Chains A and B, each alone.
Chain A
Amino acid sequence: MTELNPYRPEMATVIEIVEETHNIRTLRVLLNDPEKMKAFSFQPGQVGQLSVFGYGESTFVINSPPTRRDYLQFSIMQAGEVAGRLHQLNVGDQIGVRAPLGNYFPYENMKGRDILFVGGGIAMAPLRTLLLFMLDNRKDYGDITLIYGARTPNDFCYTYEFDDWKKAGASLILTVDNEAPDWPHRVGVVPKVLAEEAPNPKNRIAVTCGPPIMIKFALAALKQLGYADEQIYTTLEKRMKCGIGICGRCNIGEKYVCIDGPVFSCAQLSAMLPEL
């Protein structure tokens, strides 16, 4: 019975910490039970509930791809009780992990297509999972382009990996909201740069994640460019507790973001009640 208790987290150890920005850090963790770590199976886009015992649980996307199994990676922005505590952990600390939860990016349907990633701020986390997964299966996909924006040059995550991504065959377009000294890349909010770049919608899938305001304008820009609802995917975030479709708070109408999401196509979103 114990084995089936969906509220019981697996114990895990923090093995590495990367300070990404002033308020985002990445934790790399290993399940303490080597057998379970070996058997751990998930899909790109699925999330996990991380526990710091005594503080609670919070939801984060597993942002290492299933193709890289050395550890499970989570990027955490400092906001709220649990994330605040996760920012104080050290290597060797114990956390709880309930994962994988939720649905995932339908990467099978994206095979053979060009892929456009549009991300802002911490929301690069779920995109990274899919991006690396696709780069690890490079031949399955066409052109892979990433438009990634942040408030300032210091607010980008994973900068140490950008070169690897390019080498593996992704084009990167970086942008910051406002002019900054010595910034060699684009300036302007993500939807603006997206409109300027105007990637052709033909045979292309767009995957966009970001703060609600960015999503709103990015979706508008994509539609302007001729992308159909079925060609656009995004992830939703809601306050969650149980993560398993029971506790009730993350619903949009009869859909629960925790089990029916977090990944939704724009077509699915437009069939849902407008309560984002």
Chain B
Amino acid sequence: MSGKIFVAHDALSGLLDDLSKKFKVWIPQMMDQASGHIAFGVYAPGKKPELTRRSRLSPKKILFPSMDTLFKFTYVKDPKDPVRYTIDLKESFDNGPTLVFGARPCDTRGFQTFDQVFLKGQYKDVYYERRRQNTLFATLVCQDSDTACFCSSVGSGPADMTGSDMAVIPIEGGYVIEGLTDAGRKLVETSGSAPSPEQAAAAEQMKRNTAALKIGEDDLTGYADDLTRRFTDMDFWREQVSPCITCGVCTWVCPTCYCFSITDEASGMSGERMRSWDSCMFYLYTLEARGHNPRPTKMERYRNRVGHKFSYFPKKYDGMVSCCGCGRCIRTCPVSIDIRKVVKELKETADDRA
């Protein structure tokens, strides 16, 4: 077997129906026609994957839900001595076999950042790890970039299959799906029939053409020291960030923003400890109990966001920028702040800008 299959457009639903018997399959889908809102949702027969327009929200919630129970706790009273009690802890893991179908290369690559932090550090995040191990990615070779896209600027590209188990390659009449990892190949080979030689050739051609595209004008890697140099130049940060309304949308839509909060929610004798997405753009994110805040204004907070992605992360992880170039922060920013511009101008001197 070649590890490839061809799926005609009208056979895609059938394939997803089959896959959804074995996996929880996530696909990009139209959530609201009126506002054109596309996001990842669980496939059910009858739902159509939206493969020609980009999703507004990234698939990060699939491995990193916006709210995730770490464990449940219950205060258990001692029947003999009602003042005494013990606490019963039950961890909960939610990690059935999962398939993400139709994410873009930037979406899938976003999890590379998570892998570094959640799996390769001093402590391992078992919740993320379990989901990660049970999830396969069938990633779409991306044909339609827009003005906010810049994947090539961060060392990736529209045909970058880093982190993908299968490539979904659009060709005339349907898709060629190619297994890239052992698990991906195994799944592909049991899911359909091989493409004709012409179809296989068309897919190869499509991959090559797409890989040759350069999405994003500038190289935005290698700015780690420029950020350091610019760190205390508050005029620079003021100019970049004045329009910012600190809403944090950039962090919510970002495939690589992984910061979270941990809180308890309880009612009566029981409750749960959960983690939920948090945003470095918020004042309360770093506010200390006794009132001190190391990042009191939006300048320090935005500086941290840019710094984290383009300076701190590469310094810690061997040059790797923690930005996948999907452009969502640019696209959804209510005031059109463009992170590409901010990073680029880190290098410029005050004279260049004037």
Docked complex Cα distance between A204 and B266 (Å): 50
Docked complex Cα distance between A77 and B289 (Å): 10
Write out the residue numbers on chain B whose beta carbons fall within 8 Å of the beta carbon of A246.
Answer: 117-118, 121, 123, 125, 258
Residues of A in contact, count (CB < 8 Å): 45
Interface residues as binary, B242-271 with A (CB distance below 8 Å gives 1, 0 otherwise):
000000000000000011111110100001
Beyond A8-B71, A11-B87, is A251–B312 a contact (Cβ under 8 Å)? Answer: yes
B121 to A, closest residue via Cβ:
A245
Docked complex Cα distance between A237 and B286 (Å): 11
Interface residues as binary, A38-52 with B (CB distance below 8 Å gives 1, 0 otherwise):
000000000000010
Write out the residue numbers on chain B whose beta carbons fall within 8 Å of the beta carbon of A56.
Answer: 262-264, 273
Least Cβ distance of A254 to chain B in Å?
4
Task: Please give me the 7 A-B residue pairs with the lowest Cβ-Cβ distance, nearest first.
Answer: A248-B259, A80-B289, A54-B266, A254-B312, A244-B123, A79-B289, A6-B123
Contact of B285 with A by CB under 8 A: yes
Interface of B is mostly: mixed
Docked complex Cα distance between A9 and B294 (Å): 28
Instruction: Pick the contact of A275: B124, B288, B295, B315 (CB < 8 A).
Output: B295
A52 to B, closest residue via Cβ:
B264
B289 to A, closest residue via Cβ:
A80
Write out the residue numbers on chain B whose beta carbons fall within 8 Å of the beta carbon of A79.
Answer: 289-290
Q: Which chain B residues in 51-86 approach chain A with CB under 8 Å?
A: 70-71, 73, 75, 83-86
Cβ–Cβ contact A238 & B288, under 8 A = yes
Cβ–Cβ contact B126 & A5, under 8 A = yes
Cβ–Cβ contact A247 & B311, under 8 A = no
Least Cβ distance of A141 to chain B in Å?
30
Q: With contacts A8-B71, A241-B262, A273-B231 known, what are 20 further pairs, Cβ within 8 A?
A: A6-B123, A11-B87, A53-B266, A55-B266, A56-B264, A57-B273, A94-B87, A212-B292, A239-B285, A241-B278, A244-B122, A246-B258, A247-B260, A247-B275, A248-B258, A253-B311, A253-B312, A273-B228, A273-B307, A275-B294
Contact of A242 with B by CB under 8 A: yes
Write out the residue numbers on chain B whose beta carbons fall within 8 Å of the beta carbon of A80.
Answer: 289
Beyond A53-B73, A239-B289, A254-B316, is A248–B260 a contact (Cβ under 8 Å)? Answer: yes
Cβ–Cβ contact A249 & B278, under 8 A = yes
Beyond A239-B289, A254-B315, is A53–B271 a contact (Cβ under 8 Å)? Answer: yes
A selection of 7 A-B contacts at a CB cut-off of 8 Å is: A8-B70, A51-B273, A56-B262, A56-B264, A239-B288, A246-B121, A253-B315
Cβ–Cβ contact A237 & B288, under 8 A = yes
Docked complex Cα distance between A274 and B312 (Å): 14
Docked complex Cα distance between A242 and B262 (Å): 7
Q: Which chain A residues in 1-28 approach chain B with CB under 8 Å?
A: 1-2, 4-9, 11
Interface residues as binary, B299-316 with A (CB distance below 8 Å gives 1, 0 otherwise):
010001001100111011
Cβ–Cβ contact B260 & A241, under 8 A = yes
Write out the residue numbers on chain B whose beta carbons fall within 8 Å of the beta carbon of A276.
Answer: 294
Contact of B182 with A by CB under 8 A: no
Contact of B11 with A by CB under 8 A: no
